[in-house]
Structure 1
Amino acid sequence: MAGAFPRHETSLEALRNRGRYRQLMPRDGHDFASNDYLGLAGSDVLRAAATDALARGVPVGAGGSRLLRGNDAEHQLLEAEAAAFFGAEAALFMGGGFTANQAIFSTLPQQGDLVLYDALIHASTHDGMRLGRAETRSFTHSDAEDASRVLKAWRAAGGTGQVWIAVEAVYSMDGDLAPLDALMALCDADGAVLVVDEAHSTGVFGDLGRGLAHGIAHRPNVLSLHTCGKALGASGALICGQRVLIETLINKARGFIFATAPSPLNAALVRAALAELQQNTGRREQAWQGITHAQAEAKRLCGLEGYHSQILPVVIGDDKRTMALAAAMQGHGYDIRGIRPPTVPRGTSRLRLSITLNTGAQVITRMFEDLAREMEKRP
């Protein structure tokens, strides 16, 4: 007898046949899959911060939206401290990076404006743009000259509104860095706003881990997003920028207005993580030792090079071959995941190797030795 949802069953079967079926897997093996770059998620630092926060009466739940009774002192303390740390006029704490990006791009660009986005921008930005009223155009990945060409063409065709240029500081699946200097110059020339998603650079790049765009974060035409569930080890997201933009989000962003506020306890943990960045610079230095070691071993043992961050993609191409290689590496005791479309473009399925403080140098070397052997078996 057919199930109650035959079209869904057919769709799932098609994904299985193409090697694109996804399923939840438990944490198992050495960590090469998480975004816990500084090893804070399970650290004594955050464990002690949680104990302290509970002891001083910080609530576990918010009990409502921020505009009702859910606005806790921990939220406001975090926002003040984050604005000061990241060099912005104001900050807004939201439940996650996906929700925050949706809020930015569905709320701030207005009708008649243009959102000019990198071709590899995150799915959350796409969802925000679909909900927004501005026109949208893409430019070739990390190509500031192409961004300039697209912008000028839009102006020449009669575009008169505000331009918002959307990029990721460190791209989540490629690990490369946005050309921020060239894009900032383009913004200055046109009066555009640069929106920088610092999800994978917060805690890792910049002075004290303030992010790749820290040197320009104070500029009035820069808006930055710092997620709290990656290097900071907790969850949530901080939107940092001009106060008028933050107040616009508070008043108009549906994902903020109609959502229960993030846990005050979680806000306390993010505060502790930001304090750790400032007080223990050795943690970030140790992370970069591991990243540098991994980049060197990738080249020495696998002939892989051209990496710029803690994210090391190994592009395989074919979906099924990618998943077979991931399964083989999991069999060796490494938590390595295969990444397939639509997360990455067609024909670029890959292993995404993430280097964190949860994995030491010896394990990193062994992993690349095993990877080299497995790749030889699957030319």
Structure 2
Amino acid sequence: MTTTMFSDYAATLEGLRRKARLRSLAPQRGVDFTSNDFLALAGAPRLKTAIMAAMESGVPAGAGGSRLLRGNHPEHEALETEAAEFFGAERVLYFGSGYAANSALFSTLPRREDVIVHDALIHASAHEGIAASKGAAVSIEHNDANAFDEAIRNWRRNGGRGRPWIAVESLYSMDGDKAPLAALADIADRHEGFLVIDEAHATGVFGTGGRGLAAGLEGRDNVLALHTCGKALGVSGALLAVPRVLADYLVNRARAFIYSTAPSPLMAAGVREALRIVNDEPQRREALERLVAFVGDRLKSRFGIEPSGSQIQPVVIGDNARAVRIADTLQAQGFDIRAIRPPTVPEGTARLRLSITLNVDSEQVEHMLDCLAAAMEEHRR
């Protein structure tokens, strides 16, 4: 073996370093302004107790196989039944991750004669599934409902014969803004298409009882919703809420479902309890709403930054290297804040992504903003 085998890889890494885009793993440290543990459920005593009780009752840590083999545990089925009732869906399938669920959905359900019309800022997992799909794909300017409608009309005028699939996130992970779901649902109805809503960052936080921003739409024949379990719910996996016939189709045709070892039954037990906590403890959502409003008010008054209106608040810096320097300074001062750079966000929009969770309080927020102001002044260029 010689180092020349790795020269192309090393050159690519060096190119990323020159652009201030080289990434590396770092341990958890500092006050949490980075995680998606919005409701502070990941370490909640009630969640720990439920998982321990499941272990003591004999629920195994591993599934031992795929769902179509011996891996289909009663905890998976109980979770799917309870989640379908919670979200008002006909059927729910539990996947090991949101990435796997999105990839399975888009690579399996749209047919060759269909078109997938997706928001330009949709998650990488959706892009992965779309790339493997048999259908055509069209990217639409972010949150422009009229552009979605016009793209579908153009497709029909050019001979499109199948169904359109409209793909969006209800709450965008890097900008913290919301999709125009009501308008998009009307467009899907008008064109006899499907609306796919990724609720990853809204589940547990928004909607009636924490059911997400699509709570009023789920249960419709043409609405599919993805609820990830590793963010506000504090555990792992993802719940894909779909009409029954599409769930059966995925079980039979989705390679990511068929050929993957089933998620941990213990995690399924944990998700069941997380849904109960979200339902039983609305005070968590209320406390988060107050904290988000506090952060938004301070960012606007002190920095002139328009609040996103959600628990995800970007502070756009622009330059990659400057964003990294500011983040490094804040980390050295005890705050876990990361620089987000392309390709995760568009070129020229490197940013600090402030994630507001119940793991912090208003005093810690105020101190962080003091340090942020100083760091931005220190690293003006």
TM-score over 0.5 for the alignment? Answer: yes
Q: Which AA in structure 2 matches 1:317?
A: G
Q: Secondary structure at the match of 2:241?
A: strand
Give, in whole Å, the separation in 2 of the partners of 1:282 and 1:306.
22
Residues 115 and 138 of structure 2 are in contact (CA less than 8 Å); yes or no, is this contact kept in structure 1?
A: yes
Alignment-derived partner of residue 134 in structure 2: 133
Alignment-derived partner of residue 200 in structure 1: 201
Alignment-derived partner of residue 41 in structure 1: 42
Give, in whole Å, the separation in 1 of the partners of 2:100 and 2:111.
19
Alignment-derived partner of residue 124 in structure 2: 123
Give, in whole Å, the separation in 2 of the partners of 1:325 and 1:36.
23
Matches for 1:19-34 after TM superposition, within 5 Å? 19-34=20-35
Q: Secondary structure at the match of 2:216?
A: helix
Q: Secondary structure at the match of 1:124?
A: helix
Q: Which AA in structure 1 matches 2:140?
A: F
Q: Which AA in structure 1 matches 2:287?
A: Q
Alignment-derived partner of residue 106 in structure 1: 107
- Partner deviation per Cα, 1:17-65 (whole Å, 9 max, x = no partner): 1100000011000000000000011111211111111111111100000
Residues 93 and 239 of structure 2 are in contact (CA less than 8 Å); yes or no, is this contact kept in structure 1?
A: yes
Give, in whole Å, the separation in 2 of the partners of 1:296 and 1:46.
33
Q: Which AA in structure 1 matches 2:54?
A: A
Give yes or no for the alignment of 1:320 onto 2:321: yes
Give, in whole Å, the separation in 1 of the partners of 2:354 and 2:267.
27
Q: Which AA in structure 2 matches 1:66?
A: R
Alignment-derived partner of residue 98 in structure 2: 97
Q: Secondary structure at the match of 1:324?
A: helix
Residues 291 and 309 of structure 1 are in contact (CA less than 8 Å); yes or no, is this contact kept in structure 2?
A: yes
Q: Secondary structure at the match of 2:197?
A: strand
TM-score by length of 1: 0.99
Q: Which AA in structure 2 matches 1:34?
A: S
Q: How far off its partner does 1:3 sit?
A: 5.3
Residues 32 and 356 of structure 1 are in contact (CA less than 8 Å); yes or no, is this contact kept in structure 2?
A: yes
Residues 114 and 161 of structure 1 are in contact (CA less than 8 Å); yes or no, is this contact kept in structure 2?
A: yes
Give, in whole Å, the separation in 2 of the partners of 1:6 and 1:345.
28
Alignment-derived partner of residue 148 in structure 1: 149
Q: Which AA in structure 1 matches 2:74?
A: A
Alignment-derived partner of residue 354 in structure 2: 353
Q: Which AA in structure 1 matches 2:319?
A: D
- Partner deviation per Cα, 1:197-239 (whole Å, 9 max, x = no partner): 0000000010111000000111111000000000000000000
- Partner deviation per Cα, 1:95-136 (whole Å, 9 max, x = no partner): 000000000000000001000000101010110011110000
- The answer for unaligned runs of 5 or more in structure 1 is none
Give, in whole Å, the separation in 2 of the partners of 1:369 and 1:207.
35
Give, in whole Å, the separation in 1 of the partners of 2:246 and 2:107.
13
Q: Which AA in structure 1 matches 2:81?
A: A
Give, in whole Å, the separation in 2 of the partners of 1:22 and 1:95.
25
Alignment-derived partner of residue 176 in structure 1: 177
Q: Which AA in structure 2 matches 1:42?
A: G
The alignment's C-alpha RMSD in Å is: 0.9
Q: Which AA in structure 1 matches 2:58?
A: G
- Partner deviation per Cα, 1:146-170 (whole Å, 9 max, x = no partner): 1111111111001010110000000
Q: Secondary structure at the match of 1:301?
A: helix
Q: Which AA in structure 2 matches 1:141?
A: H
Give, in whole Å, the separation in 1 of the partners of 2:39 and 2:70.
34
- Partner deviation per Cα, 1:298-352 (whole Å, 9 max, x = no partner): 1122221131210000111111111011101111110000001110111111100
Give, in whole Å, the separation in 1 of the partners of 2:157 and 2:118.
18
Q: Secondary structure at the match of 1:261?
A: coil
Give, in whole Å, the separation in 1 of the partners of 2:373 and 2:190.
47
Residues 322 and 338 of structure 1 are in contact (CA less than 8 Å); yes or no, is this contact kept in structure 2?
A: yes
Q: Which AA in structure 1 matches 2:131?
A: R
Give yes or no for the alignment of 1:61 onto 2:65: no
- The answer for unaligned runs of 5 or more in structure 2 is none
Residues 102 and 125 of structure 1 are in contact (CA less than 8 Å); yes or no, is this contact kept in structure 2?
A: yes
Give, in whole Å, the separation in 2 of the partners of 1:28 and 1:100.
30
Q: Secondary structure at the match of 1:216?
A: coil
Residues 302 and 371 of structure 1 are in contact (CA less than 8 Å); yes or no, is this contact kept in structure 2?
A: no
Alignment-derived partner of residue 295 in structure 2: 294
Matches for 1:48-87 after TM superposition, within 5 Å? 48-87=49-88
Give, in whole Å, the separation in 2 of the partners of 1:143 and 1:378.
35
